[in-house]
Amino acid sequence: MSTAAVLAGLKMALARLKVARTLVTFVVAVAAVLVIAVVERAASSAGAADRSLAAVFRFIVPLSVIVLIGTATGGLNLREAAWPASRFGHPRSNVALGIVLASAAVGVVLSVVVALAALLASRAGAEAGRAALPLATDLLTTAWIAVLAGGAYAAWLGFGATFGKKGGGRLWFLAVDFFLGGAGTAGLVLPRGGITHLIGGEAPFGLSQAASSAIVPAVAIVCLVLGSLRCRD
């Protein structure tokens, strides 16, 4: 593992992410979750936070992270996206790993921001005693799940970006996650299954939440390794 190559990939991806598109993604995501939270609260204040967070982790985070991955790779296959740095002698797999790690870092920030925004907006004005958890505990738990979700989706979709000439595989990976990432067997290894379980949804394969919270980062690490391997020289 070449640290210089991973750093080169990180720097390159962060430079690509410093564009208006990233800011627009953040703004649109936050605006969307605020609308969702207000609508859910208007429908029924009981469970509004849970329903808002479900929408955040099932739709907003994956869709935002796929935009971030596309921006970080310059709309290219991950292998091609690593070329501008690897052409000088950096190992391509390490540069690709750096690109996904940078996307994951930004994805985690976005995920935490939108999740907390959804939580606060859906709990605003609700009676303190009606909530299942104290606000501080709820914030911490939500933030932890958001970190897992942002990182897991970045790794999953980054792996997807190694397929297709322009990295179009990430769209297929997103579709697979949407349609198969439920409580079934596939949900065990797909981000949607584990994350949904962590926010109170159905458990894939009947696992405990502790197991899901271990499986989600483990699968993310496997995706990082596989994506990196697919980009090796």
Partner 1 sequence: MLSGVVARDRSGARGAPRGSLTGASLSLGVGVVAILGAPEDGSIALFDVLSGHRRPERGEVRVAGKDPARDVEARRRIGAVGLSAALPAAATVAQAIEIARSAHGSSSSPQAVLDTIGLGALGRRKPASLTSAEARAVELAIALATESPALLVVHEPFSDMARSSDETLASLEAIGKSAAVVVLTSSPADARRFERVLVLARGFVARESTGAHPVLGAPAACHLVAWIASGARELAAALAGRAEVASLILSADAPGGLAVVRLAGTDMDALASAFAEAAATTGADVEALREMAPVTPEVTAMTEWEVRARQLTAMHVAASDARLRAELAAADAAARAAAYAGRGYAPAQHQAQTGPADLAPAWGPAAPAELSPGVLAPAEGAEQPAVEQPTAEPPRGGDGSEGQK
Q: Taking CB under 8 A as the rule, does residue 15 contact partner 1?
A: yes
Q: Which stretch binds partner 1 (CB under 8 A): 1-9, 42-50, 112-120, 141-149?
A: 1-9
Q: Taking CB under 8 A as the rule, does residue 172 contact partner 1?
A: no
Q: How far is the CB of 150 from partner 1 (least distance, A)?
A: 22
Q: Which stretch binds partner 1 (CB under 8 A): 9-17, 45-53, 178-186, 203-211?
A: 9-17
Q: What is the DSSP string of 6-48?
A: HHHHHHHHHHHH-SHHHHHHHHHHHHHHHHHHHHHHHH-STTH
Q: Taking CB under 8 A as the rule, does residue 85 contact partner 1?
A: yes
Q: Which stretch binds partner 1 (CB under 8 A): 4-12, 29-37, 61-69, 142-150?
A: 4-12
Q: Identify which of 90, 78, 106, 110 has the alpha carbon closest to the alpha carbon of residue 224.
A: 78
For residue 65, give both structure tokens: 């992270």
Identify the residue among 83, 144, 178, 205 touching partner 1 (CB under 8 A). Answer: 83
Q: Give SS3 for 116.
A: helix
For residue 135, give both structure tokens: 């606000």
Q: Taking CB under 8 A as the rule, does residue 39 contact partner 1?
A: no
Q: Taking CB under 8 A as the rule, does residue 7 contact partner 1?
A: yes
Q: How far is the CB of 107 from partner 1 (least distance, A)?
A: 18
- The Cα–Cα gap between 23 and 150 comes to 16
Under 8 Å between Cβ of 154 and 127: no
Q: What is the DSSP string of 36-89?
A: HHHHHHHH-STTHHHHHHHHIIIIIHHHHHHHHHHHHTTTS-HHHHTHHHHTTT
Q: Taking CB under 8 A as the rule, does residue 18 contact partner 1?
A: yes
Closer Cβ to partner 1, 97 or 220, answer by number: 97
Q: How far is the CB of 4 from partner 1 (least distance, A)?
A: 5
Q: Identify which of 219, 226, 171 has the alpha carbon closest to the alpha carbon of residue 191.
A: 219
# residues near partner 1 by CB under 8 A: 23
Residues that bind partner 1 (CB under 8 A): 4-5, 7-8, 11-13, 15-16, 18, 74, 83-91, 165-166, 233
